Structure 1
Amino acid sequence: MASTKDLARRMLLLAAGDTVEAAGARFRQAAQAGTLHELLGTDFTLPGLPTSNAVQWIYGNGMVSTKDGRAIYDQLKAAPVDERCPLCGHGMVRTLDHYLPKNTFPALCVDPLNLVPACADCNHAKGDVPPTSAETTPLHPYLDHIDNDSWLDARVAESEPVWLEFYVSPPPTWDSLLIDRTRHHFELFGLAELFSVQANRTLNSIRQLLRSALAAGGESLVRAYLADEAATRLAHRPNGWEGVTYRTLSRDGAFCSGRFGL
């Protein structure tokens, strides 16, 4: 705001400071209460500023384009470990996604909690539509800490070539709302297909190794290799598709006996 040369615009932006702060507090309260879907965009406007101008001046010019603002933008984008998109757990972070759309909630356009690092595919899949119900509220990677539990699983499909089908397998401690939200998130970002494609690529890359293991030590050696790989990966990411892939294959007797293709 301080870098804005237009005095009238600068005064409007400075006057909006209290509104932005109050909007952030309301956003956090709703997130904690599980009522983000009840928030109305009309309650998150900025006084004296049309929505398009507010978003462009504060976010486009203030955060993305200025030196000080860009430093904050880049810091938020670099937060995920290994630059891994927290929405899908696979893609590389390329953008910041507005959890609640900036054009509907302009007072939140630079709120750090409303700016989620994301890969381009997830940003596109989520779009600019706010949640309309508790069940269709996407998981927030910094508010919904579901990875403390094991919830991702897969099965070996009865098909040729071998194909893994991924799905949400919630623990018994989860309530129905969290289950619905996780399944909606899984569907919204196309995670079943994404993980299956990646698992198939992994299988193709280790098929020769599995053939050698089967020839050298039979089913038990194949199973032991897969189980060790699963344990290593799941220790790092309990719900990562890589670890779940190896775990699922290690538990499938037909696969370990050579169904992966000789």
Structure 2
Amino acid sequence: MKKHSFYDVFEACVNGKRYRNRPLSHNDMQMYRFLRAAQEVFKIHYYYGGAYTYKDESLTFGWQKSRFVALYEEQLSNKRAAGRKYYDVLVRLAPDNKCQVCLLGKVESLDHFLPKESYPSLSISPYNLVPCCLGCNGVKSTFKPSSPKRQAIHYKFDDIFSSDWLQGEYDCVNRKVVFSPNTCLYPEGSVAHARIATHMEVHGLHSVYELEALRKTREMVAYAKVEGISLEEHIHSELSKLADNARFYPRARHTFDHWKWVTCKALLASSVFMQSDYQWFENMKRYYLPGEGFEGL
């Protein structure tokens, strides 16, 4: 596996395509050392205290915030700039091209775990850039962690995505699967439970997962009806497929397949759904069609 360094990223952003082979100036090297040190300090803070303990020292050391933000906006994310090569490498770090925030959508951008407007020293740090879908990037906006419990989950630095971090329960009143942090592994009141709740809140994952669970439920009910098999049998078949996928790629069990596991188990655990509510899903329209429009369209 080819490994890229922070120096590679920095040099491409500073020199650009025109001066690709130019040695870095003394001022550039000072900037490089500061930014490299900043990302290492961030990593140390994350492991030993949490992201919320990291303090940006750009102004303290005489660096302008706009200079570091421009490195990202003009040289790293710009499709015509030399740094875009490393932007695309970071995007490709996501397994199965899945967003590393919701673990569901297609990766289309990089999100700053700590917003670059408040933490410019981490604007081009690979440690601070998370492959994500546009939805998660936009919903999160400029959220900043403020305490141990008010931190989102980092896909590289946290171990939560290697366990059953979600649980689901079928809501027979609203006919939907409701998702929440798994209280068996992460009891209410614990920091981990609060962090999962924060992660879901900040990125709007409750509605995202509920909608996907609704679609999956409708799909399974329709398939069972068409094939003339019991719904319970088909849901167990879906779980078997997920288990096969997890044998090929174990991390799938708790990442991009996790919401499916939770959905299937929540439905099987609900006697109300299995005995009667599934009929409501049988009568649902398979596709959403808009009920209004404009003349000529």
Identity fraction in percent: 23
Contact 1:59 1:110 in 2 (8 A): yes
Contact 1:227 1:247 in 2 (8 A): no
Q: Is structure 2 residue 11 aligned with structure 1 residue 26?
A: no
Q: Tell me, which stretches of 5 or more residues in structure 2 are unaligned?
A: 1-13, 247-251, 283-297
Q: Is structure 2 residue 254 aligned with structure 1 residue 238?
A: yes
- How far did 1:229 drift? 0.7
Give the distance between the partners of 2:237 and 2:259, measured in 1 at CA: 15
Moved more, 99-108 or 43-52: 43-52
Q: Is structure 2 residue 232 aligned with structure 1 residue 223?
A: yes
Give the distance between the partners of 2:177 and 2:201, measured in 1 at CA: 16
Determine the structure 2 residue equivalent to 1:252: 270
Contact 1:233 1:243 in 2 (8 A): yes
Report Cα offsets for 1:112-148 as digits up to 9, x if no partner.
Answer: 1111111111112222232111111111011112122
- Change in Cα spacing, 1:102 to 1:127, as seen in structure 2 (3 Å) is same
Q: Secondary structure at the match of 1:117?
A: strand
- How far did 1:48 drift? 4.8
Determine the structure 1 residue equivalent to 2:139: 125
Q: Is structure 2 residue 218 aligned with structure 1 residue 204?
A: yes
- How far did 1:23 drift? 0.5
Between the two proteins, the alignment pairs up a number of residues equal to 252
Moved more, 9-18 or 76-85: 9-18
Q: Tell me, which stretches of 5 or more residues in structure 1 are unaligned?
A: none
Report Cα offsets for 1:22-60 as digits up to 9, x if no partner.
Answer: 11110010011133212223x14485542112321x222
Structure 1 residue identity aligned to 2:125: D
Task: Tell me which of 44, 48, 62 is aligned to 2:75.
Answer: 62
Structure 1 segments, 4+ long, off by >6 Å, are: none
Q: Secondary structure at the match of 1:125?
A: helix
- Give RMSD over aligned pairs: 2.6
Matches within 5 A, 1:1-262: 1-3=14-16, 12-41=27-56, 43-45=57-59, 47-56=61-70, 58-65=71-78, 67-159=81-173, 162-172=175-185, 176-212=190-226, 221-233=230-242, 235=246, 236-238=252-254, 240-261=258-279
Give the distance between the partners of 1:238 and 1:47, measured in 2 at CA: 42
Contact 2:101 2:132 in 1 (8 A): yes
Give the distance between the partners of 2:219 and 2:186, measured in 1 at CA: 37
Give the distance between the partners of 1:211 and 1:257, measured in 2 at CA: 14
Give the distance between the partners of 2:156 and 2:116, measured in 1 at CA: 18
Structure 2 residue identity aligned to 1:62: Q
Give the distance between the partners of 2:114 and 2:259, measured in 1 at CA: 27
Give the distance between the partners of 2:172 and 2:214, measured in 1 at CA: 14
- How far did 1:178 drift? 1.3
Contact 1:155 1:166 in 2 (8 A): yes
Give the distance between the partners of 1:48 and 1:173, measured in 2 at CA: 43
Give the distance between the partners of 2:222 and 2:75, measured in 1 at CA: 54
Give the distance between the partners of 1:257 and 1:129, measured in 2 at CA: 43
Q: As a proportion of its length, which structure holds more helix?
A: 1
Structure 2 residue identity aligned to 1:233: L
Give the distance between the partners of 1:134 and 1:233, measured in 2 at CA: 33
- Change in Cα spacing, 1:225 to 1:142, as seen in structure 2 (3 Å) is same
Report Cα offsets for 1:205-254 as digits up to 9, x if no partner.
Answer: 233333356xx56xxx3212212212422534235212211222122233
Structure 1 residue identity aligned to 2:181: V
Q: Secondary structure at the match of 1:159?
A: coil
